[in-house]
Structure 1
Amino acid sequence: MKLILTADVPNLGAPGDIVEVKDGYGRNLLLPRKLAVVATRGAEKQVAAIRRAQKAREIRDLGHAKEVAGQLEGLAVTVTAKAAGDSGRLFGSVTAADVVAAIRSAGGPTLDRRVVELPAQIKTVGKHPVAVRLHPDVTSTLDIEVVAS
């Protein structure tokens, strides 16, 4: 199935890319979530407009991404989890939205939860590294401290 991506899809492509995917992946994941549209002649003409806008945005965003990465450098982020057992295991897990809220409350910039990449489910108290993908060329690593309330 030939699709045009409308959003950034990890391990597949960026907005405006024309990709060939299996029918089920396109029908069941990409199209319902509006991450892609079916590639038609009219849609392919729109790809040029999407790419032009993306190029203009990338140049402007690269400097801004480096600036935001600089703000994240020395930030001490603490995420307060609801509850934990005696061994330090959480009753639930820390989500990307929790990390973004903690960054904002620690005096950091306002981020989208989709730029935060958790290594796996964070289900224990302690320090955990978290990657923040601000731009395709700029990724910042942040250590968060998870504590139980």
Structure 2
Amino acid sequence: MKLILRADMENLGKLGDIVAVKPGYGRNYLIPQGLAMMASKSNLKVFELERKKLQAKMDSLRSSASDLASKIAGATVTIEVRVGEGDKLYGSVTSAMIADGLEAQGIVVDRKKIVLDDPIRSIGVHEVEVKLHADVRGTIRVMVCRQGEKLIEETAAEESGQQSAEAEA
């Protein structure tokens, strides 16, 4: 089945590409979601007329994703977890926990866009990738610490902030 893509798809192609997909994928997902249309002469003419609108929409999505990526780059999420013997976590840190931590800072990211290759099951600082758009990715710094404690780096940063405040006074 040949389709014309109406949006950038990460593993399929860019806006305006004519791609061959399995009939079920095209009929049941791409066409109903408005991500593609059947490749025919009449649809090619219709697509060329609306290409500018679609391109403007894709550009605005990409720019908003890059703005969000710059906000995320400076963000650090601290997650307190229950820990057993040998610093083993009870369970693991999930993408939903990270999304909630970002939301508490005023940054709204869908948990499905947070990419965890392996679940986080240890205390420490972890770099987590966020896929915001097909072309835009960001990384979040996630600090996992014991419940009721702060990480050494976080405590040191607060102490240096207090020392500089005392020096100014």
- Fold-level match, TM-score > 0.5? yes
Q: Mind listing any 5+ residue stretches in structure 2 that lack a counterpart?
A: 148-169
Please say if 1:98 is aligned against 2:97. Answer: yes
- Mapped partners of 2:85, 2:60: distance in 1: 49
Q: Deviations over 1:25-72 (max 9, x none)?
A: x51x55434455561435545544664233213444454444322322
- Mapped partners of 2:145, 2:26: distance in 1: 36
The RMSD of aligned alpha carbons is: 3.5
Q: Does the 8 Å contact 1:69/1:140 carry over to 2?
A: yes
**One-letter code aligned to 2:130:** V
**What residue number does 2:165 align with?**
none
**One-letter code aligned to 1:131:** E
More strand by share: 1
- Mapped partners of 1:124, 1:49: distance in 2: 51
**What residue number does 2:77 align with?**
77
Q: How far apart are 1:136 and its partner, in Å?
A: 4.6
Q: Mind listing any 5+ residue stretches in structure 1 that lack a counterpart?
A: none
Give the match's secondary structure for 1:57.
helix
Q: How far apart are 1:103 and its partner, in Å?
A: 0.9
Q: Does the 8 Å contact 1:71/1:108 carry over to 2?
A: no
**What residue number does 2:157 align with?**
none
Q: Does the 8 Å contact 1:134/1:140 carry over to 2?
A: yes
Q: How far apart are 1:140 and its partner, in Å?
A: 1.8
**What residue number does 1:57 align with?**
57
Distance 1:40 1:102, change over 3 A: same
Distance 1:75 1:33, change over 3 A: same
Give the match's secondary structure for 1:54.
helix
Distance 1:45 1:76, change over 3 A: same
Distance 1:123 1:74, change over 3 A: closer
**One-letter code aligned to 2:111:** R
Please say if 1:39 is aligned against 2:38. Answer: yes
- Mapped partners of 2:37, 2:60: distance in 1: 29
TM-score normalised by the chain length of structure 2: 0.58
- Mapped partners of 1:84, 1:115: distance in 2: 27
How many residues are paired up?
141
Q: Does the 8 Å contact 2:7/2:36 carry over to 1?
A: no
Q: Does the 8 Å contact 2:6/2:54 carry over to 1?
A: no
**What residue number does 1:125 align with?**
122
Higher radius of gyration, 1 or 2: 2
**One-letter code aligned to 2:12:** L
Alignment counterpart, residue 109 of structure 2, candidates 105, 108, 111: 111
**One-letter code aligned to 2:68:** V
